[in-house]
């Protein structure tokens, strides 16, 4: 992979990974409500899911999902329902003691599985596959396996770094949010971001 391609890949991954989305929103919310240690599990689940998703796209599953309307809408529907369910759980927690009672949590396996329910993640993985794995500067690549390994390594680093950064911010706000009704409004804002993301997914 040339220096130009690497630079473009790094710029693309930076923009896509650090922009707000369902993963970064949940990372911040989990850290704010449970602490950084509990959120770390989700921060590790996201890159794990991403690697599996990239491998699936490299094997052609992504093109199949997006090319078959029934499968595409199934992914959308499951993703939207799960995000709305998380938003509902998030929106009612006004105090830290209520968080565990409402079971506002995402297991490692659920975090991995979330990546496969996000139509935006499928489209991003397909873009990376088409732009950097099977093509080399506009020409068919002669080493797609090597390129896939490079893309996976880059995305592994960016997926963890972006979610950990948001989780760190959430954990730093934890004591501030514990006062009065601040946590409730923070959780409702995070829930609103999830609802907006779910609405966007329907229209994609």
Q: Which pLDDT band, with edges at 50, 70 and 90, does 41 fall under?
A: very high
The percentage of the chain sitting over the pLDDT mark of 70, rounded to a whole number, equals 87
CB 167 within 8 A of CB 43: yes
Q: 24-41 burial by CB neighbour count: b if 16+ within 10 A, else e?
A: bbbbbbbbbbbebebbbb
d(CA 126, CA 133): 10
Q: Is 0.85 surpassed by the pTM of this model?
A: no
Q: What is the mean predicted confidence (pLDDT) over 2-15?
A: 85
Q: State whether residue 143 is helix, strand or coil.
A: coil
Q: Is the pLDDT of residue 82 over 80?
A: no
């Amino acid at each position: 992979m040339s220096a130009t391609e690497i630079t473009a890949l790094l710029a693309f991954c930076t923009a896509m990974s650090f922009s707000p989305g369902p993963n970064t929103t949940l990372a911040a919310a989990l850290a704010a409500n449970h602490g950084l240690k509990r959120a770390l599990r989700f921060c590790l689940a996201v890159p794990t899911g991403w690697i599996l998703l990239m491998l699936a796209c490299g094997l052609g599953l992504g093109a199949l999902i997006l090319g078959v309307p029934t499968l595409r809408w199934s992914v959308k529907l499951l993703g939207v329902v799960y995000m709305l369910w998380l938003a509902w759980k998030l929106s009612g927690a006004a105090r830290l003691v209520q968080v565990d009672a409402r079971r506002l949590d995402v297991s490692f396996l659920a975090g991995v599985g979330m990546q496969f329910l996000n139509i935006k993640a499928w489209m991003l993985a397909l873009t990376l596959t088409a732009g950097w794995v099977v093509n080399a500067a506009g020409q068919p690549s002669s080493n797609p396996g090597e390129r896939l390994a490079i893309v996976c390594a880059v995305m592994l680093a960016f997926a963890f770094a972006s979610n950990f950064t948001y989780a760190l911010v959430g954990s730093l706000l934890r004591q501030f949010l514990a006062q009065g009704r601040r946590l409730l409004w923070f959780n409702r804002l995070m829930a609103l971001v999830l609802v907006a993301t779910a609405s966007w997914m329907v229209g994609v």
